[in-house]
Amino acid sequence: MRSRPSRSTARRGVAVVELAILLPVMVFLLLVGIDYCRLFYFSQVVCNCTRNGAMYATDPYSTVASPYASLEEAAKADADSDVQSQLTVTSSTGTDTYGSYTQVSVSYPFSTLTSYPWLPKTVTITRTAQVRVAPQVPK
């Protein structure tokens, strides 16, 4: 006569099956969350670098009093050394009906940790700031 498995043994089997079914979904959600956090972090770094470059460009005394030698160096000051090497900083100046302005753009090539079927593996994060040059003497 065969004995029936105990109730605790049957429940352990169900728990193992549930874990086997849900573990890939949970790992996938963890990776999506990590990639989203990394995207948000690098987006903030690019935004801060753009702001730093714009502040350097708008101040007429920045070339004299700033610890940075150039607009690119000022823009990259807020990023890690690993990120600094991958940042691309461009600037241009122009004039419109309101006066002269400087436009600063910072780009960073962001790569996800894993490849998702509906998303590209690499996305370029770009932020642009257009600022008016402050007058040297207030009006």
pLDDT in tens, 39-80: 999 999 999 999 999 999 888 777 778 888 889 999 999 899
Q: What percent of the chain has pLDDT over 70?
A: 90
8-state DSSP, 133: P
pTM equals: 0.80
2-24 mean pLDDT: 78
The neighbouring-strand residues paired with 95 are 100
Please give the pLDDT value at position 59. Answer: 82
The neighbouring-strand residues paired with 12 are none
Instruction: Check if the beta carbon of residue 131 is closer than 8 Å to that of residue 102.
Output: yes
Nearest to 83 by CA among 134, 125, 117, 31: 125
How far is it, in rounded angstroms, from Cα 56 to Cα 77?
11
Nearest to 79 by CA among 51, 114, 111: 51
